Structure 1
Amino acid sequence: MSTKDWIEKDYYKILGVPKDADAATVKKAYRTLARELHPDRNKDDKTAEDRFKDVSEAYSVLSDPEKRKQYDEARTLFGSGMRVPGGSGGSFNFDLGDIFTGTGSGQGGLGDVFGGLFGQRTRSRGTGARRGADVETNVSIEFEEAVDGKTVPLRMTSSSACTSCAGTGARAGTVPRVCPTCTGTGYTSTDSGGFGMAEPCRDCMGRGLVVDDPCPVCSGSGRGTTSKVMNVRIPAGVVDGQRIRLRGKGAPGERGGPAGDLYVTVKVGEHPVFGRKAEHLTVTVPVTFPEVTLGADIKVPTLNGVPVTLKLPPGTPNGRTFRVRGRGATRRDGTRGDLLVTVEVVVPQRVEQPAKEALEAFQSATSGDDIRAELMREASKRG
C-alpha cells in the first residue's frame, strides 16, 4: 500500500473502533464486518466488495503492532493536513493529492516531507499555527457534591500572546525575520539509520522566526501570562481521582492555532456515613438480635437527609444487604443508582438482669437445636 493510503485512510473509522481500541476489539470489529461484506454474501455488489477490501486492508495494519505504531505516528505527524508559509495570512492549504504528486507547489511532493518515515531521507515542512499547551489542575469537592454534580470556579494561569509585542517576540517597531535554518517551517529533519523524523528547529525553537531585537517584556518569547476565573461543571457521579478533559479550555494557541485542553483531576472527600460503589451508595446500619430474629421495620438514613423505612424479614442473617432503589448517585443519563443497606447485628457490652433472664430462657428453650452439628459432620468427613 502507498504512503498516501496511510495518510488519507482512517483505518479506525473503517473498522468503527476508537483509536485506543485493544487487539481483541479490533479483531471482533473486523470479523463482524468481514462476515457482513464478504463477496459470497454480496454477489455483484461492487460497493460491498470495495468496503470488504478496505476492511481487510485496515485490519492488516491495525492487527500488526509494528504497522499500527508506524501508522499512528504517520497520522499524528501528517494526518490533519499541511499548512505552509506563503498564502493568505501567512499560510495556505495544500490539496492532499497535490502534496503526494508534487504538482501543487513544485516542491517534489510528499516524498520530500514524509518519505523518511519509510526508509528515505526527508525534508520536513512545519506549520505556521501552533496549538496551545494543555493545562492541568486539581479540584477538591465534598462527597455530596460528587454525587449530584457541582459548578466550581477555577482560577487558571496560562501562557498567552504578549500584549507588548502582540506575540511576535520583537521589540515594538521591529519585526522578526524568517529562520534561515528551517526556512520558516519551524521544523528540521533528522536521519537515524535511514529513518527520518521531523523535530522542532533548535535555532528558532519551532517558531519559524528569529528575533534580533527582542521584546523587553517577554524577552523575545512572544508569550505572556494571563489569569482568569473559569466556571467548570463537575458532572454528577464523578469518582475520586477521575480526570475530566475540557477541550479548548487550555492555553491559547499561536498564530491562529487552536487552544490546548484543560484537564481537571477531581479529589472527592469521604463521608462519615455513606460510601460509593460505582453509581450506588452504601451504608451499614446497626440492628439488634430481636430485630433480625423476629423481623422489624427500621429507619435507614439517605444522603438527602430524608430517612426511608426498610422492612427486615424474620430470620435476617447478619451482614445481609438490602437494596433501596433510586437513592444512589446520579448516572450520566440523569437516573439514579441504588442505596445498598447492609445490616450489622450489634452485641450489647452490658446486659441488665431482666434482659439476661430473658436470654437465658431463650437459650434454654432452644437448647435442642445444635447449630454446629452440620459443621462438625462436614469436618469429620475430612478427618
Structure 2
Amino acid sequence: MAGDPYSELGVKRDASDAEIQKAFRKLAKELHPDTNKDNKVAEERFKRITAAYDFLKDADKRKKFDRGEIDADGREIFRGGGGAGRAGGSPFGGGGRSTHFEGMDIDDIMGMFGGGARGGSPFGGGFGGAREQAPTKGSDVKIKLDIDLLDTIIGNTRRVLLSDGRTLDVNIPKGSRDGQTLRLKGQGSPSASGRGPHGDAMVELHLKPHPIFRLDGNDLHMDLFVSLPDAILGGKVQASTPDGPVSVNLAKGSNSGAILRLKGRGAYEAKGGTRGDLFAHVVLAMPDKGVDGIPADLKADFTALMERWRDKGGYTPTVTARRK
C-alpha cells in the first residue's frame, strides 16, 4: 500500500475508530468488485482502501505510524547517521578503511545484509529508507454461522456477508458438528502491504435445534405420533426422515415408548462417512379435538365401549420406555 492510509480513506489523522470504519464501509460499497465489474481502476482502489483500513484498525501499527516508526506498508523506518562504528563513525567498524570485508566482493558484502548490490539496496528503498521485510499475511476473519441439522446431513452451501462488504459462499460438508470451525484459505483480509497472501476465513458453525429430530452422536431420535386405532390394530404408518417421509410397520398393540429403528437414516460421521440410525419413539395421540374429533356415527359406540372397559377394571398405565 503506497501513500498515507488516512488519505486513502479520506479521514483526518485524529479520526476515531468509528469514523475510520464508517469511511471504509462507504468506500467499500462504492468500489466493491461486484458493483464495478471489469473496472480495474475501482478494483485497485478497493484493494488500497482495504489495506488502509486493515492497517489503521491495528492500534499498535497506527501508533507506530503516527510516531514515524513504520511506513504505510508496516516496515520499520531506518534512521541513518554516524556513531554505529568506531573512530570516524563508520558503520563498518574501522577508522578510514575497512578490513572486515577484505577478500569479499560487493555481492558478498551486500548479501550479509539480506540484499544484493546489483538488486538494489539491502534496506529496501535506498540508504536512509526502510529495511525490506518479507510480505506479511493478511489477518484472519472470524465468522459465526447458524446452520440447520439437515445442512449437516444432506450438505448445503450458505452465503455470508463479511464486514468489508464481500460475500462468501461456505460449503457445509456432511457430518459437520456444532462448534466446528471451517477454515477457508485465502478468504480473509488482504495483506497490509498488498504483496503478501490474504488471511483465512474461520467459520464457526452453530447448530440450530430442529423441530423434529434430535441429534445424539451419529444417531437421530424423533417422536412418532400415532393414532389410537393404528396403535391397537397395527399396520403401516408414515414417519418423517431427513430424506423424506417413509412407511414403517407398527406392531399391533403398540404403546407409547415403543421404539422403531430405521437403519441408515441418521446423521453422517464426519471422517468415515458412515451414517447412523434414526430411532422413532412411538407416542399415542388422541384427535386434536379429543373425543369430539371422533366421527359422529362412531362417537356414541366408542364412548360406550370405553365406559364398559373402565367399569370392568380398565388398566393401570406403566412407563415402558424413557424418551431419549
Query: TM-score, normalising length from structure 1?
Result: 0.40
Structure number with higher strand proportion: 1
Q: Which has the larger radius of gyration?
A: 2
TM-score by length of 2: 0.46
